[in-house]
Structure formats: structure tokens, C-alpha cells
């Protein structure tokens, strides 16, 4: 298995790929206003959430073009708060932390008014993106909750600590490749099937409003259809100075969404997690990455798996 790296703006890089050539896309775009990666043309530091979403729609429109008709696209996206700290871009100041610029908002921004947001509002970026992609032609098939058992501690006292993000499953067509057997999970609890009885009927002595256990869809230790809440601990990658999603999070996406020997695309290559998981599970990988420093990280990470073809 090999990985092809396309250095440069992801929108322009994907345009180099032929139509209907990719089996699956698994990616995590930069979150809105969270980090300054120090590269001109980067996505994530737009003036408004709408401008940010618009740029991502352009990127994923190209992704849809290169996907095969039966292709799937899995997008991990977290949210941001408006103007109250917690990772929103402020042109007047950023702070250096862990080898990256962490944005620091302490004042109001003009886009708050333009976007009809109030300070401390949850912006709703993941759903803004999901609905925009659906309007652009994608099939929005499912929202998956990434539950983090070890979330980043927060000092807030007027809301709960955030311990989840979203993964959206999008498809190019109504019918698509999906190997549900490959992503089944081990049942920790018995899956009980309960039948409720409707008004006006008396079946087997059951009165209206009563329920009856009629069987189990699985037993403890058996494999069952994967549920839509995935508990996966955050696990830092030692060579990456930015947030990376853990391999265990995207392995089910690749197993279910890409046939063996197929090609997985990640428009936002980052530290190369997508390529690593794809290659370790018998898939080819294509990454787009704007920052040459991160390409060095990717090459180092994948060196023990397969040679890298860089363009």
C-alpha cells in the first residue's frame, strides 16, 4: 500500500485528480477560528462562519467530483463559541502554544453582528457545514457522536464541559458502498427487543400501553451493528503540535466506507492519521497538505509502513 502526498492548497490539489477515481474520503477540516497554522491561504481563519463554510463547500464539491458513484465521505467537525474565548480567531492577537498559534478572543468582533451571533453563543458550525453540504448535492446520511472519555478540561462554570464532536457520513449517491459487517462492534450489554402494543388492540393479553420482551438482537460478547455514539479516547501524537483524531476513531469509517484495495482521500492531511489507518488496513491513500512542515511529520510517521510518493 502507498500514500501519495499533494502539497499545496487542497482545492487546487484535488482538481489534479481525475473524476470518479476515489473510493472514500475521511477527513477533519480545520475548525473555525481555533488555530493559526502559519500558512497563507489556510482555511479556518475567515472573517465569518459563513465564509468559512463557503470555502469548505467548495473543497467538498471537488471531493464529490473525484469520488466514485458509490463513494462515501466521513467528516469530523467540532464547534466553536462566539466571542467568549474557547478558541475563536481574533486578528488582534494570537498566542504560541505547543508549536502552534492558539487563537485568543477577548474582545467583540464585527462578524458577531454580521452573523447575528451574540458573545458566548454556540455557533453550530458542524450543522452549518452538514446542511450546506446537503444543499450542495451531498446525501447527509448520518450524524455520529464522537464521545471523548478524556475531554480537554475546561474552566467554565456556566455550562457543561464539552466531551463530544461530530462525524458526518455523506454520500455521493442514494446507494453506496457500506460494509456494515466490517465495522460491527462487540456488545457490552444484551440488546433487548421490546414490542409495544397499539391503541384499540389486545394482543396475547397485553393491554394498551404495555410492552413485552420478545427477544434479543445480541448477547454480551457478540458482534452487533455499530451504534451511532462512538466512545474513543483522545490520544496525542508525539510528533504533531496540533490536535489529531485517534486512529481508532476513523478505522470503522475506512473499513465500512472503502473496499479492500480501494483509495482513501484526506484533503486535510495533518499528521497523516488517515493515511496510516488506510495503509494498515489494505487501502491506498492520497493526502493533501498545505504546510510543508506537516508533510515531514507525515513522511516520518508512514516511513515504517510504505514508501511515500510526493508530488
52-71 pLDDT, tens digit per residue, is 999 999 999 999 999 999 99
pLDDT of 27 over the 60 cut: yes
d(CA 255, CA 252): 5
pLDDT digits (tens, 9 = 90+) for 152-163: 899 999 999 999
Q: Does the domain at residues 3-184+225-310 carry the CATH identifier 2.40.30.20?
A: no
Answer whether residue 217 shows pLDDT above 60.
Answer: yes
Q: Where in the chain are all domains bearing CATH 3.40.50.150?
A: 3-184+225-310
Mean of pLDDT over the chain: 83
Query: Does residue 85 carry a pLDDT above 50?
Result: no
Residues 7-19 have pLDDT tens digits of 999 999 999 999 9
* pLDDT score, position 104: 42
Largest Cα separation within the chain, whole Å, is 71
pLDDT of residue 46: 87
- Over residues 224-233, the pLDDT tens digits come to 999 999 999 9
Burial track 51-84 (b if 16+ CB lie within 10 A, e otherwise): ebbebbbebbebbbbbbbebbbbbbbbbbbbbbb
Model pTM score: 0.84
CA 16 to chain centre: 24
Amino acid at each position: 500500500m502507498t500514500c501519495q502526498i499533494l502539497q499545496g492548497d487542497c482545492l487546487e490539489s484535488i482538481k489534479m485528480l481525475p473524476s470518479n477515481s476515489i473510493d472514500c474520503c475521511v477527513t477533519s477540516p480545520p475548525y473555525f477560528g481555533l488555530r493559526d497554522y502559519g500558512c497563507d491561504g489556510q482555511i479556518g481563519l475567515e472573517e465569518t462562519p459563513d465564509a468559512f463554510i463557503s470555502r469548505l463547500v467548495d473543497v467538498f464539491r471537488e471531493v464529490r467530483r473525484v469520488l466514485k458513484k458509490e463513494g462515501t465521505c466521513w467528516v469530523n467537525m467540532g464547534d466553536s463559541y462566539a466571542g467568549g474565548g474557547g478558541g475563536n480567531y481574533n486578528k488582534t492577537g494570537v498566542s504560541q502554544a505547543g508549536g502552534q498559534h492558539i487563537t485568543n478572543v477577548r474582545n467583540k468582533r464585527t462578524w458577531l453582528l454580521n452573523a447575528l451571533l451574540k458573545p458566548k453563543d454556540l455557533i453550530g458550525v458542524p450543522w452549518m457545514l452538514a446542511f450546506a453540504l446537503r444543499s450542495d448535492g451531498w446525501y447527509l446520511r448520518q450524524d455520529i457522536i464522537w464521545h471523548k472519555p478524556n475531554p480537554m478540561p475546561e474552566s467554565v462554570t456556566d455550562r457543561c464541559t464539552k466531551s463530544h464532536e461530530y462525524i458526518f457520513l455523506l454520500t455521493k449517491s442514494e446507494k453506496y458502498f457500506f460494509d456494515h459487517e466490517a465495522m460491527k462492534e462487540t456488545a457490552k450489554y444484551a440488546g433487548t427487543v421490546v414490542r409495544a402494543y397499539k391503541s384499540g388492540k389486545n394482543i396475547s393479553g397485553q393491554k394498551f400501553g404495555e410492552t413485552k420482551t420478545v427477544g434479543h438482537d445480541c448477547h454480551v460478547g457478540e458482534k452487533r451493528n455499530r451504534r451511532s455514539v462512538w466512545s474513543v479516547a483522545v490520544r496525542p501524537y508525539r510528533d504533531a503540535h496540533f490536535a489529531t483524531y485517534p486512529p481508532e476513531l476513523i478505522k470503522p469509517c475506512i473499513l465500512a466506507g472503502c473496499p479492500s484495495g480501494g483509495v482513501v482521500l484526506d484533503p486535510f492531511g495533518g499528521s497523516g492519521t488517515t493515511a496510516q489507518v488506510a495503509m494498515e488496513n489494505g487501502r491506498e491513500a492520497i493526502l493533501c497538505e498545505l504546510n510543508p512542515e506537516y508533510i515531514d511529520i507525515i513522511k516520518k510517521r508512514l516511513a515504517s509502513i510504505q514508501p511515500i510518493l510526493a508530488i
